[in-house]
Amino acid sequence: MAHSQSGHIHVTSRDFEPRSDPCTVLQADVPDVPLAVVEEILLNLPAHQVVRVCRLVCREWKELVDSASHWRERCRREEIQPCDASRPPEDWRLFYFITKRRRNLLKNPRAEDEFNGWTIVRNGGDYWTVEDNSIEIPNHTVPKYFVTSYQLCLKQQLIDLKKEGYNAAFMDQVQPHIKISDWYAPRCDCGSEYQICVELLDQEKKPISTFEPEKVFFKQWNDQQWCEMTHIFKDYGPGVRFICFTHGGNDTQFWAGWYGIRVTNSSVEICPVE
């Protein structure tokens, strides 16, 4: 894995592909240390150092680093396990690195910094606003949410995968799963509608794959509970360079103020293929 000047780690295809062994000339200089000891040493070194440096020392070290058992044991020690234990990953090294880097690529998903990071696409009625959250979201503590008004309100983020450390070779060769999640809720005293559209875009920002389910409608006098919208992009093909996330809605009774759909705790994650 490569480091930028800022210290940011970039995932590259070289981190997951078998390599030739250009350093076999060093093999004669390697002390005769039992391989079990060598592996224990490797397991206590940073993973990127093991791949980029230690793997090139000699053929025996290369075989250790390339083995599934090494990465399976590293995952075990760091408590990184597949969601479904009955379906182990095909490539434990790939699974390890993607899981370690897994994070939400959306900025300010919980309205804690007003609208910073978001582009307002539609700002109908009395416009978007931010309010405090008093309704519990399952398994999450979310203090604020974005709320819409009596005409359509939409906001958007464009994720540049290269800037986030996922280069073209990695996206094309690995095609990791891309998981999106969004939480939305109505007010109990007003009807509302919710909509979402997430697009995987190529270098020219043209859609390769789109998730756009039907709008969700809530009647007046509902239970006001938070709902989760999820989707996982799989087998989307090569060429994905950007992810465009758009969501929002409005109330359906045209009441002045902020009685429309509420959204928060949105996420876009690059996930291992399990």
pLDDT tens digits, 158-181: 999 999 989 999 999 889 999 999
Report the pLDDT value the prediction gives residue 90, as an integer from 0 to 100: 80
For the cut 60, the answer to whether the pLDDT of residue 4 exceeds it is: no
Exposure on the CB side of residue 176, measured as CA atoms within 13 A: 30
Q: From residue 270, give the alpha-carbon distance in Å to each of 102, 107, 124, 190, 209.
A: 6, 15, 33, 36, 15
Clarify whether residues 164 and 236 are in a common domain.
Answer: yes
227 shares a domain with 175: yes
Q: What is the pTM of this model?
A: 0.80
Mean pLDDT estimate for the chain: 87
End-to-end distance of the chain based on CA atoms, in angstroms?
22
Number of structural domains (the chain) is 2
Is residue 111 in a domain? no
| In a shared domain, residues 127 and 259 | yes
Give yes or no: residues 202 and 137 share one domain: yes
Q: Can you give the CATH number for the domain in which 48 is found?
A: 1.20.1280.50
Same domain as 143, residue 69: no
- Residue 14 predicted with pLDDT over 70: no
Q: Does any domain span residue 135?
A: yes
Checking if the pLDDT of 29 tops 70, the result is no
Indicate whether 107 belongs to any domain: no
From 78-92, 118-132, 222-236, 237-251, the region with the lowest mean pLDDT: 78-92
The CATH number given to whatever domain includes residue 175 is 2.60.120.260
> Are 149 and 262 members of one domain?
yes
The distance of Cα 15 from the centroid of its chain, to the nearest Å, equals 19
Q: What is the helix (H) or strand (E) element at residue 123, kind and residue range?
A: strand 119-123
Ranges 38-47, 93-102, 195-204, most confident: 195-204
Question: Where does a domain end: 42, 71, 101?
Answer: 101
Whether 123 and 199 map to the same domain: the answer is yes
Domain that holds residue 258: 119-271
Residue 85 and residue 138 share a domain: no
Q: Is the pLDDT of residue 23 over 70?
A: no
